[in-house]
Chains A and B, each alone.
Chain A
């Protein structure tokens, strides 16, 4: 099974400052079709998860452009250019390349400092 390791697990950030979350995979995530199926989800307190980023760097409709995804192979990053209060929550990476099973990272809790 593919293990996704996120860091940090807790991320206190000052409003308006940048934030970065790392997701490292135990295996390369390039699929046979050449695509890399690495996703990022946001879960605000008391809400369902919401997809932010798919295929490493493609932003979902309605996701603010302060969110960006990057990476390749086994190392991936979610960046928030300027953190806003509404960004508080838990962020998960997820891989859909080598399944079953689909696997998620442990989650990174972003809070305002």
Chain B
């Protein structure tokens, strides 16, 4: 059974940093692109970043470029999102998901809440 479990969310002050983790199991993690998607309170879904199987390609939504870094450790079956220079508008539930053929997100985690507030 495919499982994705996010962790690392919490309350952080504007300008602060946070590192999210996503533990994957039930599939060959190193064979799949992975993604982060976020959802601000009461709002819709917003794609944040994608990373290739070996980490050699990474793509970001414009609003997080230069502040967020997606990475992975295939030996640990883990995906990460390093978030720096956080802003109030980054407040959201952050989901990790598996990317299948055609850049579709077939399995999602339960999400972790990030709150940026003073």
Contact = CB atoms under 8 A, between A and B. Distances in A.
Contacts of A100: 47, 50, 59-61
A107 interface: yes
Contacts of B37: 49
Contacts of A39: 104-105
B66 interface: no
Interface string B49-77: 01000000001111000000000000000
Contacts of B46: 104
For the residues of B in contact with A, the DSSP-based class is strand
B1 interface: no
A94 B37 CA distance: 12
A35 B104 CA distance: 12
A63 B59 CA distance: 31
Contact of A103 (B47, B60, B95, B111): B47
B9 interface: no
Nearest to B102: A37
Interface stretch (A19-27, A50-58, A68-76, A78-86): A50-58
Contact of B103 (A50, A90, A99, A107): A99
Interface in A82-113: 90, 92, 94, 96-97, 99-107
A104 B45 contact: yes
Contacts of A49: 37, 45, 95, 105, 108
A21 to B, nearest CB: 14
B47 A102 contact: yes
13 contacts: A31-B102, A43-B45, A48-B110, A49-B108, A51-B105, A54-B102, A55-B102, A96-B104, A100-B50, A101-B61, A104-B44, A105-B44, A107-B45
Interface of B: 35, 37, 44-47, 50, 59-62, 95, 100, 102-106, 108-111
Q: Which 10 A-B pairs have the closest CB atoms?
A: A96-B103, A102-B47, A37-B102, A100-B59, A48-B108, A104-B45, A107-B44, A54-B104, A39-B104, A101-B61
